[in-house]
């Protein structure tokens, strides 16, 4: 996902929202009169909202502004293909980390600071993992 529109649509879908549901909730919360056409233009990169609206989408979707604007490649480039496991030559493949976390979140519970994450948090985690793995694969290929 290289563009705002692709990321915007991906976030909407990860939250199981139709365009209609999104505009109804967003318009009610922030006092706008967006239409499905406006959302479609955002998702198809024909139009980009202003910074105030972007900040409100960040709040609404509960994501970072860098994430929404698809500005996370700089972070992924720093990770590289391998992630050091120890201070020596041992390392673990990033796909192994991804698969381990994904299987834990699909099959069991994950504790975060001694609190079990809920279903919405689990979906956010899985969506984030998919995005990160896709970005890593794109950078190394």
Task: Show which of 49, 68, 87 is a domain's final residue.
Answer: 68
Task: Show which of 22, 50, 68 is a domain's final residue.
Answer: 68
Q: Report the phi/psi class of residue 135: left, alpha or beta, with left for phi > 0 and alpha for psi in -120 to 50.
A: alpha
Tell whether 9 and 58 lie within a shared domain.
yes
Tell whether 59 and 99 lie within a shared domain.
no
Domain with 83 in it: 76-140
Domains identified in the chain, total number: 2
Given this model, what pLDDT does residue 141 score? 61
Bigger pLDDT: 88 vs 23: 23
pTM of the model: 0.53
Rg (CA), the chain: 17
Given this model, what pLDDT does residue 46 score? 92
Q: pLDDT per residue over 31-87, tens digit each? A: 999 999 999 999 998 998 888 898 899 899 988 877 887 765 543 443 343 344 344
Bigger pLDDT: 95 vs 51: 51
């Amino acid at each position: 996902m290289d563009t705002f529109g692709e990321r915007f649509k991906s976030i909407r879908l990860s939250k199981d929202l139709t365009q209609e549901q999104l505009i109804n909730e967003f318009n009610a919360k922030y006092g706008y009169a967006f239409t499905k056409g406006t959302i479609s233009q955002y998702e198809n990169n024909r139009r980009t909202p202003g910074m105030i609206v972007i900040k409100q989408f960040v709040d609404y979707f509960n994501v970072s502004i860098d994430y929404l604007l698809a500005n996370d490649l700089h972070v992924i480039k720093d990770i590289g293909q391998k992630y050091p496991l120890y201070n020596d030559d041992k390392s673990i493949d990033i796909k192994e980390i991804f698969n381990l976390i994904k299987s834990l979140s699909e099959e069991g519970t994950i504790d975060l600071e001694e609190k079990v994450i809920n279903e919405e948090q689990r979906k956010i985690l899985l969506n984030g993992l998919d995005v990160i793995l896709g970005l890593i694969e794109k950078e190394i290929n």
